[in-house]
Amino acid sequence: MSRKTTVSTPAITRRDFINGVLVSGATGIMEGQARAAGTAGIAPPARTGMRGSHPGAFEAAHALRDGTVPAHRIRKTGEVYDLVIVGGGLSGLSAAHFFRKYAGADKKILIIDNHDDFGGHAKRNEFSVDGARMVLNGGTLEVESPERYNQWARMILDDIGVDLDRYLKENAPNESLYSSHGMGPGLFFDQETWHADTLVRSAVGTENCLNAHALQHAPLSRHARADLMRLLSARQPDYLHGRSVAEKKKFLASISYPDYLSNWAKVDPSILWFFRKAGSGVFCVGSDTLPALFAWTLGLPGFSGLGLGDVPEGLLADLPGGQHGRQKESGHSVHFPDGNATLARLLVASLIPAATKAHTQEDMATATFDYAALDRARSNVRLRLGSMVMNVAHDGAPDQARQVSVLYTAAGDGSPTQYHQVQARQVVMACWNMFIPYLVPTLPETQKKALAYGVKGPIVYVNVALRNWRAFEKLGVSEIRCPGMYFDEISLAEPAALGGLSLPSDPDRPIVIRMIKTFSVPGLSKREQYRAARGMLLGISFETFEHEIRNQLQRVLGAGGFDATRDIAAITVNRWPHGYAYTYNSLYDPAEWVFTETQTRPCVVGRQLFGRIAIANSDAAASPHTDAAFLEAHRAVTELLDAGQYPFVPTVPGNAADTHTNEGKM
């Protein structure tokens, strides 16, 4: 190959790159350099500071702006794999699991990920404070709606040894930990809105503070209090009188929840403050993008007089995830101490046994992993961290090529001087949909457009290790909503125990608390708000986050004796500029995308097999849930196998053979 030969990468405009792909800026690079020495020798889960999409994970993506990669910088490693997987999150790990299960455990698999840890959004944060070892999820929170898990997701759980029933039974006594201390939910009224900082707490045993008992101390005018109590009443007027139930539902799907409250329920304007972030924990944005129909199905107040009946049972129940806003909520969810990082750790332990001596569900609580063992030549499955894939291309026409070339470089190098190329018989793209068109520039334009449609929702999970939780107990709160403040909510870690990990029952012992931040830019569409929020998030330094964390905790908990200087032991900011998968929304998307399983949805068009390249991720299901990641991994792998590359795919009783071709049988 001539030294002048180049490997083409897609043209990317400055705006596309900043708003649609990735950006770190000088702030992120400097943070990464400043902390590099401090993280050496520390296992990735125990690293504090800026985590999630951390500095050093994506700077190399800037090289894509140049449009080409000089051939003299490419080193062909000589490695040839049966399958290369781009992305080491839950979808990528489960794709490796399914491929080994179906094609054979002797097959050679390489998983490439740009982060320094595996699991994707299913990240684990660890802390050691005053002799106590604590963990909390840094991203993916829980196994949601497990009774609705598709058969492939259930298969994964069974194969890696997850026993949710056993876990729930063992944790049943822990559920009353906070209530046994007289603690319940709280609501914080900020002085910027209400002239004085005021913490209001609900009675023990209640699920939220929107009730008469809690609101008797709220700083509301007489008129506003009456309006809010009317909104919470089970006997409200019919604000949409004269319409049929079908007409009401159709209308509610077309207006936002704040619009409904203001113009139809006609509540005092100050009441909208209570609901400004309604649904943000699911949709990563403010309530101005929440359809009123979604608000009804989520159980938000204001609909009792409309005669809408019960939320339909089983509506779109075959789609993955909780499908918030589109069907009745399921009974329960399951939270491991580190969230779904437990699942990622079990998958890696199964794929690469040499990486850890731990193998059971309970083992994962305190398991240590040998990261050097993840990428050893003698292993049939290799996991290569800290590596940014730059280009994926068939070696010839997609319908005739026998191999695919995968080009990657060190993720933390903003101006790469060396690129590495491996060969694969097949590839699974288990990374973000919106990034795939830039990595596979030969994709059909229609497919590229579909992949780019679903903009991911930015979100921040901050985990703060405290030396004690006396202030929470004194104030009688275990979780606090803060609609007007920098962080939307503050909560003590879920009272969960697993293996050698348990939450302290003594408030004088250390604990981890979670703070969540989402962004909203009212006036823009949901997708445009996500793009704007991403730019905002990536411009925030760790120092700014730390200042806001300390300030908010001091204001909210100070009356309970909290001292931010004394009581905060460590801070981990899990920054996810590309967080939750985009879900369809009836305010902005066609109704058939939202309420049916039509093949015209961008997630379906975008995930089509392209030669020897298949696509697997939660984006491909337009659902940010773990079972979506598992489902799409199974589809991607079986698409490749069904293309004739390997002799057989084991059948599973039922409609298993059709699940990857018939959307209605998911």
Do 293 and 345 lie in one domain? The reply is no
pLDDT band at residue 65 using 50, 70 and 90 as cut-offs: low
pLDDT single digits (tens) 143-186: 998 988 999 999 999 999 999 999 999 999 999 999 999 999 99
Query: What per-residue confidence (pLDDT) applies to 608?
Result: 98
- Are 192 and 98 within one domain? no
Instruction: Determine the pLDDT at residue 337.
Output: 97
Share of the chain above pLDDT 70, in %: 88
Residue at a domain's end among 265, 297, 329: 297
Q: What domain range includes position 392?
A: 6-47+60-121+338-453+600-665
In a domain, 553, yes or no: no
Give the best-scoring range by mean pLDDT among 30-44, 196-210, 571-585: 571-585
The domain that holds 432 is classified in CATH as 3.50.50.60
Domain count, the chain: 2
Give residue-wise pLDDT tens across range 119-133. Answer: 999 999 999 999 999
pLDDT band for position 646 (cuts 50, 70, 90): low
Average pLDDT over residues 201-226: 85
- Per-residue pLDDT, averaged over 653-660, amounts to 35
Q: In this structure, are 449 and 342 located in the same domain? A: yes
Q: pTM higher than 0.95 for the full model?
A: no
Say if residue 279 is in the same domain as residue 356: no
pLDDT value, residue 648? 40
Instruction: Give the separation between CA 623 and CA 117, rounded to whole angstroms.
Output: 23
Whether residues 293 and 346 share a domain: the answer is no
| Count of beta carbons in the 10 Å neighbourhood of residue 87 | 25
Is the pLDDT at 222 greater than 90, yes or no?
yes
Answer positive or negative: Cα dihedral of 50, 52, 57, 59.
Answer: negative
User: Which pLDDT does position 11 carry in this prediction?
Assistant: 42
- Element housing 187 (H / E): strand 184-189
Please give the pLDDT value at position 318: 74
How does residue 663 score in pLDDT terms, banded at 50, 70 and 90?
A: very low
pLDDT in tens, 313-327: 767 777 787 777 777
Number of neighbouring beta carbons within 10 Å of residue 446? 11
Please write the tens of the pLDDT for every residue from 463-484. Answer: 999 999 999 999 999 999 999 9
280 and 370 co-located in one domain: no
Q: Answer yes or no: do 208 and 258 share one domain.
A: yes
Residue of 302, 408, 356 lying closest to 60 (CA atoms): 408
Pair (293, 342) in one structural domain: no
Within a domain: 444: yes
What are the C-alpha distances in Å from 578 to residues 88, 172, 457, 542, 606? 15, 35, 6, 18, 18
pLDDT of residue 559: 97
What mean pLDDT do residues 264-290 have? 95
Q: Convert the pLDDT of each residue in 615-638 to its tens digit.
A: 999 999 999 999 999 999 999 999
Residues 314, 60: contact at Cβ < 8 Å? no
Say whether both 435 and 370 belong to one domain: yes
The answer to the question of residue 624 being in a domain is yes
Domain presence at residue 12: yes
Q: Indicate the pairing of strand 132-137 with strand 124-129.
A: antiparallel
CA distances to 238, 464, 482, 515 from 552, rounded to whole Å, are 40, 12, 9, 10
532 domain-assigned: no
Of 297, 329, 354, which one is at a domain's C-terminal end? 297
Q: Give CA separation, 264 vs 237, 292, 477, 664, in Å.
A: 10, 11, 34, 37
Q: Do 252 and 199 reside in the same domain of the chain?
A: yes
CA distance 456 to 623: 10
Q: 247, 272, 297 — which closes off a domain?
A: 297
Does residue 348 lie in a domain region?
A: yes
User: Distance between CA 620 and CA 487 in Å, rounded?
Assistant: 30
Kindly state whether residue 554 falls inside one of the protein's structural domains: no
pLDDT at 372 over 50: yes
| Structural domain includes residue 528 | no
Binned at pLDDT 50, 70 and 90, residue 13 comes out as: very low
The answer to whether residues 12 and 116 belong to one domain is yes
Distance CA(10)–CA(66), nearest Å, equals 9
Supply the mean pLDDT for the chain: 88
359 and 284 inside one domain = no
What confidence score (pLDDT) does residue 70 get? 73
Each residue of 401-450: pLDDT tens digit? 999 999 999 887 667 778 999 999 999 999 999 999 999 999 999 999 99
Distance CA 6, CA 276 (A): 51
